[in-house]
Amino acid sequence: MNTNMNIQDNVKKTLEVFDTMETVKAPPFFKDKMIQRLFAEKEKTASVSIWSWFTPQLQLATLVCVVFVNVYAVKEIKSSKYEASITSFASDYGITADQESSLFN
């Protein structure tokens, strides 16, 4: 019973603390300042990206380079120098060039 009374006293003391509490006076425009800070931090973290360096200008330059390399490769494959060098390579290593299959033939 004695512990029950101690618990009741502790509960009463705890509830009395709530009566002595006063409201906190916040500085003017505190809410607006905090919201601006929160949104500014979110924008900073969102703007940093892995692909941020790959700008549209760089994408266009990369596309032009890839197309140029592909066009050059197709022209080299279709040229007669390429066929002569393949035949020479095949004869040097004993490979028959007639059995070769190609996508461009």
pTM: 0.37
Say how far apart CA 101 and CA 105 lie, in whole Å. Answer: 8
User: Residue 103: its pLDDT value, please?
Assistant: 64
Domains: count for the chain: 1
Given a contact cutoff of 8 angstroms between Cβ atoms, the answer to whether 96 and 90 are in contact is yes
User: Residue 66: its pLDDT value, please?
Assistant: 97
Longest dimension (CA), the chain: 109
Inside any domain, residue 74: yes
Judged by DSSP in three states, 44 sits in helix
Residues of the chain with pLDDT under 50: none
Inside any domain, residue 15: no
Structural domain boundaries enclosing 80: 54-99
User: Residue 61: its pLDDT value, please?
Assistant: 95
In whole angstroms, what separates CA 42 from the centre of its chain? Answer: 16
